[in-house]
Structures are given as structure tokens and as C-alpha cells.
């Protein structure tokens, strides 16, 4: 099948590469020309397991191509995916300007029947706005005497589909190749049925052993994505609050986690307390759903609390540091292990490390940080955060390895649970730190580490 992907960010690039891997013919467009140039050379702009090899393989096979010509891109696909960004605007709502611009481009350039698939996360009702934007351009073309647009409008020129993506950074390729569900929202009527048949065929290679495709209406598909992320964010904030209470009452939250996770209605996944959720999805989607609710005159009180608890949780480790060292951290050096919002990615968007490091520096502390892959992204993100406090930035240093970061530090803060930190020699760590003090924001270690002479503070343990 000929498929176009507009937008080559996380979702667009992974979608395109995996669809090419399944044998489809992909053409991708992005407004960022330098990105297109890099991708055409086989250089992915994101750190994602398995992606570079798959990208190279499909480029070489000619199944995956990148273009700077939007008209060419739109012509190519029988199916056109919109996978552009939907960043939050000043009110917390999803900013749809890029989505609507992509829709307009489709309307400007299409010459034949298309299935237009909304892939990026968008509020309920957006598919209808995309449909109106495409139609608006077709009508403008007809008024100018464009015969192709005129005859397209005499029939049904395209179908709208809402097909949200559920991939997780770090396992995005795997998630796409082996989805637990494929949500496809279509319109009622023959155009919707035709589009559903097309999407079934498109996803057939990923949908073999059992049918994982869930067909529903457009609005339900859009809502499903927000509902999923809101539910998962709720689990995390709920566990974080329980962890904080567990600490007060002298209970180990990890034992409780195992105890409740064994109930299949609860399950083990996504119950890990920590420094709060970050990344490009949960914080943004929680805010956007609250905005949608407010626009419809309803409060989502649980979700409001989820966001508030998460903001507070990002500071929980800093509070422990201040309890130990007092409010003034001048003259203290802190080693930080892990910067990305979670392991196996270099993504620094809404990473709790940004709040923690910012707070330590603001109190006069010096920070030496290490991350296996996110150092460059972190350098940029923190420089942005502290653009108006350059004197603080001067107290932030990056190390080339974890032990170098720990060397001579007054304490170690673990902010991301990279696997590599688990296998380091604890005796070497103890000898390297100025004092054997660990603030573990991800419960990477067991409290038994205390028997090895470490002063160990974790989350809910
Ligand atoms: C998430 C959703 O999982 C995915 O379905 C959606 O498409 C995009 O958003 P992602 O942002 O890649 O994916 O990260 P995820 O692995 O879900 O973790 C999100 C955050 O929650 C991270 O900051 C992580 O550290 C935190 N988390 C996760 C916890 O604090 N505890 C947990 O038990 C699980």
C-alpha cells in the first residue's frame, strides 16, 4: 500500500519505519528540512532501540523515503497519516495549528480518494475539524476552477480516521510491531466502512494471531487515548501518595506493591512509585483532558489531583535532601545519576531531573550529573530552564561515567532507573562518595544496601 506520513517526530517516524518494515511503500514529509535531510541519510533524530537498523534497512530497500515536497508527499499515499506535534498552548489545551496546517496541505494537493488518518493525540472532535479544513481547501480550489477538486467534491473525496498511537518511548518499535490493540475510529456510512477495510489491510501484518483491531466511532477513538493516559497517570500518582504515607507509617511500599499487584484486577504493571511521571505524553495529556472537561463545564477532580500530586512528587527528593543538609546547600556537591524522564530514552521533556537539579542549584548546591544517553539533551534543556540564572548553570557539570559523577560528592541522587546503575560496584561507589549517602528517587536499590554501610533514603521504603 502507498502510505504518506506527515510529521516525522516520535510517532510519525516510528509509524513510517514499522509500516515500511511490513512491506508498505512510505513517503514522509516534515516542515523541518534539516530533519528530512538527516532521515534520508538514515540518521534517526531520536534515541530508540532497533530504530536505526530498521530505518537503514527500509531506506536501502526503497520502501521508505523522505521528501521536502509536501505536494509530492500528499499525492503518494492512498492513506495519509497526520503525525505532527500537538504541544500544549498557554491554557494547557492541545495546540492544533500543526494538525490543521497538515489538513490544509492535504486539501490543497490531493487529486484522488484518500483515507486521512489522525495519528497524533488530539482532543475529542478534532477529526471533524481536520475534515472541515481539508474540505475548505478543496472548495477553495473548486472556486478557482480546479476541475480535479470539483469532481472530487461531487463524490465523497476522502474518509477521516482517528487512529491514536499507544507506543512507549524506549520500546516504541516493539510496541508498534506487536500492538496490544489497534484503535481505529471511523465515520458511519460507506466511506467509513471503506476506510476501515483499508486500515484492516494496512495493519494486517501486525494483527495476525488474534484480532486486536478495535473499531469504534471517531470521537470514542480520540477519547480512548486520553482516557488511557489519564488512567495510567492516575495509577502513578496514587502509588506515589501511598508511598509517601507508607514512609510515615513505617511500611515498605514495594512489599505493598507486590501484595496488591497480585490481584488481576489491579495487576503488577505501572505501580512503581518514584519521582513522578514525565515525558511528552502524560503531563500534556492530563492537562489537555482537564481543559476539555473545563470547556464542557465539568471538573475532573481526580485528574486535577493527579496533576497536583505529580508536581509535588517531583520535589520529594529535594525535601529529603534539605531535611538532611538544611536549607542552604552552599559548598555541597551532589552526584546525579539519570537525567532522561525514564530509562532507554534521551527525552528530557518534563523530566523530573530538571526540577530536582534546578532546586539543588537554586539552594546553592553544585551538581555533577551523568546519564548514559541524555547528556546533550539535558545540557540544552537545563540551559533553557536556567536561561535567566547563568550563575546557577555554572554550578552544573556533566560527567562521562557514573563513578566520575559520584567522586567526592556529599550524596548521590538516583533520578532515572537506568539498568546500568544496578550493576555497578557498591564498594567502589562507597569509596568514591565523600559520604555513603544515597537518595534513591526510583527505588533502584533495595533497603538491604544499608547493611553495606550506606545511608539510604528511597521512596516509600
Ligand atoms: C506513555 C504511554 O505509556 C503511551 O501509551 C503513550 O502513547 C505515550 O505516553 P511514555 O511517555 O513513553 O508512554 O512513557 P511511560 O513508559 O508510559 O512512562 C511515563 C512516565 O511514568 C515516566 O516518567 C515513568 O518514569 C513514569 N512511571 C511509569 C512511573 O513513575 N511509575 C510506573 O510504574 C510507570
Q: In angstroms, rounded to a whole number, what is the distance separating the alpha carbons of residues 114 and 159?
A: 7
Express each pLDDT in 166-186 by its tens digit. Answer: 999 999 999 999 999 999 999
Query: Is residue 155 exposed (0-12), middle (13-18) or buried (19+ Cβ within 10 Å)?
Result: exposed
Asked whether 11 lines ligand 1 (CB < 6 A), one says: no
Q: Which atom of ligand 1 is nearest to the CA of 342?
A: 25
Q: What is the dihedral of CA 224, 230, 236, 241, to 10 degrees?
A: -150
Cell numbers placing 419: 539498568
Active site residue 281: yes
Neighbours of 374 (CB within 10 A): 25
Asked whether 236 lines ligand 1 (CB < 6 A), one says: yes
Q: Which atom of ligand 1 is nearest to the CA of 168?
A: 12
Residue nearest to atom 16 of ligand 1 (CA): 168
Asked whether 10 lines ligand 1 (CB < 6 A), one says: no
Instruction: Give the position of cell 503518494.
Output: 76
Mean pLDDT of the chain: 96
- Residue 149 scores a pLDDT above 90: no
Cell numbers placing 42: 538514515
Asked whether 279 lines ligand 1 (CB < 6 A), one says: yes
Query: Is residue 235 exposed (0-12), middle (13-18) or buried (19+ Cβ within 10 Å)?
Result: middle
For the chain, domain boundaries? 2-216, 314-457
% pLDDT > 70, the chain: 100
Identify the DSSP state of 58.
H
pLDDT of amino acid 156: 81
- Residue 277 scores a pLDDT above 90: yes
Q: Which CATH class is domain 314-457?
A: alpha beta
- Residue 88 scores a pLDDT above 90: no
Residue 222's nearest CA partner among 194, 182, 185 is 185
- Residue 148 scores a pLDDT above 90: no
Residue nearest to atom 21 of ligand 1 (CA): 277
pLDDT of amino acid 151: 84
- Residue 93 scores a pLDDT above 90: no
Distance 250 CA to ligand 1 centre (A): 28
Cell numbers placing 183: 484503535
- Residue 360 scores a pLDDT above 90: yes
Same fold, 2-216 and 314-457: yes
Q: In angstroms, rounded to a whole number, what is the distance separating the alpha carbons of residues 239 and 272?
A: 7
Mean per-residue pLDDT for 367-373? 98
What is the complex's ipTM, to 2 decimals?
0.94
Name the catalytic one among 18, 28, 45, 281: 281
Mean per-residue pLDDT for 363-369? 98
Q: Match domain 2-216 to its CATH number in 3.40.50.10860, 1.10.10.10, 3.90.1720.10, 3.40.50.720.
A: 3.40.50.720
- Residue 35 scores a pLDDT above 90: yes
Amino acid at each position: 500500500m502507498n502510505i504518506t506520513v506527515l510529521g516525522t517526530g516520535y510517532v510519525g517516524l516510528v509509524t513510517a519505519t514499522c509500516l515500511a518494515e511490513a512491506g508498505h511503500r512510505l513517503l514522509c514529509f516534515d516542515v523541518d528540512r534539516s530533519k528530512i535531510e538527516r532521515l534520508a541519510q538514515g540518521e534517526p533524530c531520536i534515541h530508540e532501540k532497533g530504530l536505526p537498523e530498521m530505518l537503514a534497512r527500509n531506506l536501502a530497500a526503497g520502501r521508505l523515503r523522505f521528501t521536502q515536497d509536501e505536494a509530492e508527499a500528499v499525492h503518494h499515499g492512498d492513506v495519509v497519516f497526520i503525525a505532527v506535534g500537538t504541544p500544549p498552548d498557554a491554557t494547557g489545551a492541545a495546540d492544533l495549528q500543526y494538525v490543521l496546517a497538515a489538513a490544509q496541505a492535504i486539501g490543497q494537493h490531493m487529486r484522488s480518494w484518500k483515507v486521512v488518518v489522525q495519528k497524533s493525540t488530539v482532543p475529542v472532535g478534532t477529526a471533524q475539524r481536520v475534515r472541515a479544513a481539508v474540505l475548505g481547501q478543496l472548495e477553495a480550489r473548486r472556486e478557482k476552477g480546479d476541475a480535479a477538486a470539483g469532481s472530487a467534491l461531487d463524490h465523497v473525496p476522502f474518509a477521516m480516521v482517528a487512529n491514536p498511537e499507544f507506543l512507549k518511548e524506549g520500546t516504541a518499535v516493539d510496541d508498534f510491531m506487536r500492538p496490544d490493540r489497534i484503535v481505529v475510529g471511523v465515520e458511519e456510512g460507506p466511506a467509513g466502512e471503506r476506510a476501515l477495510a483499508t486500515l484492516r489491510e494496512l495493519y494486517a501484518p501486525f494483527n495476525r494471531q488474534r484480532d486486536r483491531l478495535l473499531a469504534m466511532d471517531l470521537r470514542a477513538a480520540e477519547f480512548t487515548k486520553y482516557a488511557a493516559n489519564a488512567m495510567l497517570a492516575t495509577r502513578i500518582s496514587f502509588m506515589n501518595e501511598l508511598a509517601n504515607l507508607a514512609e510515615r507509617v513505617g511500611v515498605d511500599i514495594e512489599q505493598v506493591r507486590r501484595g496488591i499487584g497480585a490481584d488481576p484486577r489491579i495487576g503488577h504493571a505501572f505501580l512503581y512509585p518514584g519521582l513522578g511521571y514525565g515525558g511528552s505524553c502524560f503531563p500534556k495529556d492530563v492537562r489537555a483532558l482537564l481543559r476539555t472537561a473545563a470547556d464542557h463545564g465539568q471538573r475532573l477532580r481526580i485528574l486535577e489531583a493527579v496533576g497536583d500530586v505529580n508536581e509535588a512528587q517531583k520535589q520529594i527528593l529535594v525535601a529529603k535532601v534539605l531535611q538532611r543538609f538544611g536549607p542552604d546547600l552552599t559548598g555541597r556537591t551532589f552526584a546525579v545519576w539519570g537525567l532522561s524522564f525514564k530509562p532507554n530514552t534521551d527525552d528530557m521533556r518534563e523530566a523530573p531531573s530538571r526540577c530536582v537539579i534546578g532546586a539543588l542549584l537554586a539552594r546553592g548546591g553544585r551538581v555533577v550529573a551523568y546519564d548514559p544517553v541524555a547528556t546533550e539533551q539535558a545540557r540544552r534543556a537545563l540551559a533553557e530552564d536556567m536561561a535567566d540564572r547563568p550563575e546557577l548553570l555554572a554550578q552544573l557539570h556533566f560527567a562521562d561515567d557514573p563513578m566520575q559523577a559520584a567522586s567526592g560528592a556529599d550524596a548521590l541522587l538516583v533520578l532515572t532507573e537506568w539498568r546500568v546503575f544496578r550493576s555497578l560496584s557498591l564498594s567502589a561507589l562507597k569509596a568514591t562518595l565523600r559520604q555513603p549517602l544515597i537518595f534513591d528517587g526510583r527505588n533502584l536499590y533495595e533497603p538491604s544496601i544499608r547493611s553495606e554501610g550506606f545511608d539510604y533514603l528511597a521512596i516509600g521504603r
